[in-house]
Amino acid sequence: MLNKNDIVEVEIVDLTHEGAGVAKVDGFVFFVDNALPGEVIKMRVLKLKKNIGFGKVEEYVTLSPNRNHDIDATYLRSGIADFGHMTYEEQLKFKRKQVVDNLYKTAGISDVEVAETLGMDTPYAYRNKAQVPVRRVKGQLETGFYRKNSHDLIPIEDFLIQDKEIDKLIVFVRDLLRRYDLKPYDEKEQTGLIRNLVVRRGHYSGQMMLVFVTTRPKVFRIDQVIAMITEAFPSVVSIIQNINDKNTNAIFGKEFCTLYGQDTITDSMLGNDYEISAQSFYQVNTEMAEKLYQTAIDFSDLNSDSIVIDAYSGIGTIGLSFAKQVKEVYGVEVIETAVEDAKKNAERNGITNAHYVADSAENAMAKWSKDGIKPDIIIVDPPRKG
């Protein structure tokens, strides 16, 4: 019978969708961080539940040929790069396997051909958005990323997958916050001022937006802070304050105010320009979003009589990518501000055949069906929980 702290030799037989290795021993399914299929490890038992357990690697007996040895373990501990210990080529194969497994296990479908995953040439420094907590670590204000499954901050300067200009701006602002002794938020005590820094950068435009998430409106010497940021980073065209005084994991509170410059930044995707606010949902990997949308367009066999429905349309990026090649686009999105953004984005790009409503996808599609709208293509991009 297994007990906590026992050390057993196991083989890793699979991976979870979050990148943990899976081992089976004595009727238990164990989940082990930083372990890959095919590896044999000496595993320490950390926790046992009814028929599942959690373990950690004490020693690698045999290593997988698909292991990436170039990654710092800090990134794996923080959850920035859940699959960072696996070569990128193997990650792409694993993503395809997930689709095959989900179709079979969830939908009972086994006769669909799943294509190879389209990857990036350089899968680093691509994220156009960062949300970084500000906390005190060992007596000093730090920015970084939480340790997996915790709210302990690991200080990090190079986030590996974020746009390098975003990383530079975060480090610069961190140093200013220290210099002006602006207090970081303390979750336990519910004290301090600066909770988070949120940065967005246009992939093509290079424009940057910085959002200070604070617990209260007044920020000591904020004018000096802004002057120094905009002098060092002329590409920062928007600085915004968001006030979040609730004890919550949500990053933003309800109240936004613009401290400097514009309320939004702009960027382009597949030749259309978009206005992006602090809250806008905009694909974080512009290069691959373009590849994804173009692939969908190529699959769709569109013509000038086609009717397209864009369900979960956000600020309109997918539907508007299709609009110039089809007769009509109908978009539906439950978040009203996003619907307003989608309408503005259509206007901005001279698109008059895209129509957006604020509603649930189910309701809107039922209404459109009653009105005799018959789509040739339905694009579905629901939120992750969907």
Rounded average pLDDT over 299-307: 94
How far, in whole angstroms, is CA 10 from its chain's centroid?
A: 33
SS3 label, residue 34: coil
- Count CB atoms within 10 A of the CB of residue 258: 14
Reply yes or no on whether the pLDDT at 146 is more than 70.
Answer: yes
**Which backbone phi and psi does 262 adopt, to 5 degrees?**
-90, 165
Domain 129-263 classification at class level: mainly beta
| Residue 384, pLDDT score | 72
Domain 7-65 indexed as CATH 2.40.50.140 = yes
| Residue 216, pLDDT score | 96
Are 7-65 and 280-380 equal in CATH topology?
no
**What kind and span of H or E run contains 297?**
helix 286-300
Q: What is the pLDDT of residues 328-368, one digit of tens each?
A: 999 999 999 899 999 999 999 999 999 999 999 999 999 99
For residues 121 and 133, give the distance between their C-alpha atoms in angstroms, rounded to a whole number: 30
Reply yes or no on whether the pLDDT at 268 is more than 90.
Answer: yes
Q: What is the pLDDT of residues 7-21, one digit of tens each?
A: 999 999 999 988 999
| Residue 79, pLDDT score | 84
Contact 241, 256 (CB under 8 A): yes
Closest of 220, 158, 231, 171 to residue 194, by C-alpha:
220
Domain 280-380 indexed as CATH 3.30.450.20 = no
Rounded average pLDDT over 188-213: 97
Reply yes or no on whether the pLDDT at 279 is more than 60.
Answer: yes
Share of residues in the chain with pLDDT > 90 (%): 89
Share of residues in the chain with pLDDT > 70 (%): 99
Q: Where do the domains of the chain lie?
A: 7-65, 129-263, 280-380
Q: pTM for the full model?
A: 0.92
| Residue 385, pLDDT score | 66
Rounded average pLDDT over 260-269: 96
Closest of 301, 297, 293, 314 to residue 361, by C-alpha:
314
**Residue 82, CA distances (Å) to 17, 36, 71 in order:** 9, 12, 11
Tell me the two tokens of residue 133: 């907590």
